[in-house]
Structure formats: structure tokens, C-alpha cells
Amino acid sequence: MITKAMKQGLTLAFVMAFLVGCSSTDTKDSDAEAGANGGVTTGTADSGSLGSADGSEESMEELETIIYFDFDQAVLMPEARALLLAHAEKLRGTDTAVRLEGHADERGSREYNMALGERRANAVRDFLVLQGVSRGNLEVISYGEERPLSLGSGESAWSKNRRVEIDY
């Protein structure tokens, strides 16, 4: 499992790798590697990526990587648009592969939620593409309600689970 801290670390690592990567082909390789590791979601690969953030002195604004949705909805909320614009800014013109993981809360039927999760991830993808991000770099996958972020029942857990995770 990827913990949230690891994810944030990974995001930070990517942002830095990206910035450095603009001037150096060497770091661009490690950038691509971090992206690929994020895709397969293996714990060891992620901790490897964490280390690459060390030693950098620049302080970067950390981008939230989770977009939330309303129940049975795949429409982007206004706050999601602002966040996605920032992601689009980062991704535009790069060849960074990103995996968009759609999820749903536990209510309702499982396969419908699987489709709903895909709808949500598609909504994020389509927004990023409209902002100039290369569609070929965006992979969509839905986990439906199978991988909740919060394990409880009730609106506080459900609202955290209706989401798309942007996995660099």
C-alpha cells in the first residue's frame, strides 16, 4: 500500500525532478522511472523514489493529488478545476506518464461503482487534455469501491472515498 505521506513525497519528488529535468537529461531518466513506479504501486519502488527528494533545497508548493466528487456524480467540482489547472501546468509539454485512479464510496452496487470510478477518472483526464496535456500520457483505471481510502462507513469516510487519485 502507498501511504499518503509516501504519495506526497512521491509528488514532491516528481515536482523537483521535473524542475531539474528542464535543464538536465540525466535527471529526466529518474523522472520517468518515478512515474513508472507510481503506476505499479509497489511499496519498495516508492520508497526508492522518496530518497530522490532528499538534498534538494528548493521549497516547492505541494500539489494535492486527490480530486473529490459528489455521490453518484462524475462532474468536477469548482475547487477540483483549480487544482487540475495546476496539474495541467505541470504536465503540459512533458512526456510524463500519469495514472488516474477512479474510486467510489461503498454505497450501491459494485460494478456500477466500477463504471462510476472510470467516469470520474475520465472527467479528470478530459479536463487535463483540454488544458493541453497529452492524452497518451494519461492512463485511466477504476477501482470502484474496492480500494477505499477511509475504511469506515458514514459520510466522513464516503466523502474521502469518492475520488480520483493522480498518480505520477
Partner 1 sequence: MRKLVALVLFCFVSVAHAQLTIEITQGVDNPTRIAVVPMGWSGNEPLPEDISRIVSNNLERSGQFDAVPRTSMLSFPSSEADVFYRDWRVMGTEFLLIGDIQQQAGRYFVTYHLYDILAQRKVISAGKVDGGAAQLRDIAHHISDKVYEKITGIEGAFSTQILYVEAFQNTGTQDNFRLMLSDADGARPRMLLESDEPLLSPTWSPDGRQVAYVSFETTRPAIFVQNLATGEREQVTNFTGLNGAPAFSPDGSALALVLSKDGNPEIYTLDLASRRFTRITNHYAIDTEPSWTSDGKGIVFTSNRGGKPQIYKVTLASGRVERLTFDGEYNARGRVSRDGKTLVMVHQRGGVFHIAAQDLATGTLRILTETNLDESPTIAPNGAMLLYATRFGGKGILAAVSLDAGTKYRLPSKQGDVREPAWSPFF
Residue with cell 487540475: 84
Contact flag: residue 70 with partner 1 (CB under 8 A): no
| DSSP 8-state class, residue 75 | P
Contact flag: residue 72 with partner 1 (CB under 8 A): yes
In whole angstroms, the minimum distance from the beta carbon of 151 to partner 1 comes to 6
- How far, in whole angstroms, is CA 112 from its chain's centroid? 22
The C-alpha cell at 40 is 505499479
Q: Which of 142, 164, 166, 167 binds partner 1 (CB under 8 A)?
A: 142
- Where are the strands (E) in the chain, listed by range? 66-68, 98-103, 138-144, 163-167
Q: Which of 141, 157, 159, 160 binds partner 1 (CB under 8 A)?
A: 141
**Number of shown-chain residues binding partner 1 (CB under 8 A):** 29
Nearest one of 97, 91, 117 to 168, comparing CA atoms: 97
Contact flag: residue 111 with partner 1 (CB under 8 A): yes
Binding residues for partner 1, rule: CB under 8 A, are: 1, 3, 39-41, 72, 106-112, 114-116, 118-119, 122, 140-144, 146-148, 151, 153
